[in-house]
Chains A and B, each alone.
Chain A
């Protein structure tokens, strides 16, 4: 569903008015990544490893200097501006700080992508209301973001990201600003939506717990390269990725019947 091949991205430092020029930052140094359809894939790595840059190059918010980004059998780096905009309709994205329009209500936020696609007002309201209901916010349609909790805001953002029925959902630390209970609920929602819509989810996080909770596969990003990638069921406990995910430690903490103990997220039902 998503295939990155040899993706490079360098941020060139600008010459400052005073003092020495800072060095360029090689954020991505030849990233290869393959995400299967319907999978929840997590990329972990230390801060500054290039995780956000990696995620942003998938919908070309950040255009790679080199390499190809194939989403849905289409190399996005070769597309014209108009074609790229269309391709982006198939790629939803959610963010750590939600990025909701502060002056629009929940339903207006969710209706925005529908409006961009030229749907009529009644169609937009209907679809947006249904989506908000789907994420458990049927009673918050006309609430402004300031009147919502962090978890509720992220649900609105998820509904907005899914409004035009994308095939792929990208998540940049979507639960990092939430308390752990709310984070669990949002993660459960993401998994539920993946199951229901056959979404492919690529999330990046600094938090090993998120990956252990909902990911099928994971990769460790280090110094702008994928150091290791594996399905979680096939992960060897003493590998770098397993250490990063703290899977070995967890296993030794548990009674030992299961080698990989994944923390289960409680199922949350949404009427």
Chain B
């Protein structure tokens, strides 16, 4: 998984590369100084993420890659004055005040996006079975008790709980209780 840094300034290029390697020393990073070779480099290296400054970004470039199948994600470098039409092609931007944390966030954002694509569609809605389990957790039952009540194994309940936590972003039993009440899954007494 290659990351390409397209930027005329040595200092900026080196800085970004340095941070990328600090975040992940195994990350393959290619650099490009000459805007004329931009398209060819992308075709050759097939980066999944490209950091590029305004010198590299213009309408005709984006037009030329419009129909290519594997388009990388573009992050603009110091693109404050760039045309809006070009700006719209960028997924993120960084500037002189950006920190390591910003770059980390960008990396996390897009590596997550990629894994999502592999798993396909949004499966964040609770299934009926999972709703049953939430209801019982909210009533204060233990995994074992829920298993007995629903005629399932404790192991299955544990799996359900993991999925529920992943989907809802709620880890604790009392958090799930609040969720259950808000969504009218159980009555308050």
Pair from one complex: no
Chain A contact residues, CB within 8 Å of chain B: none
Residues of B that sit less than 8 Å from A by CB: none
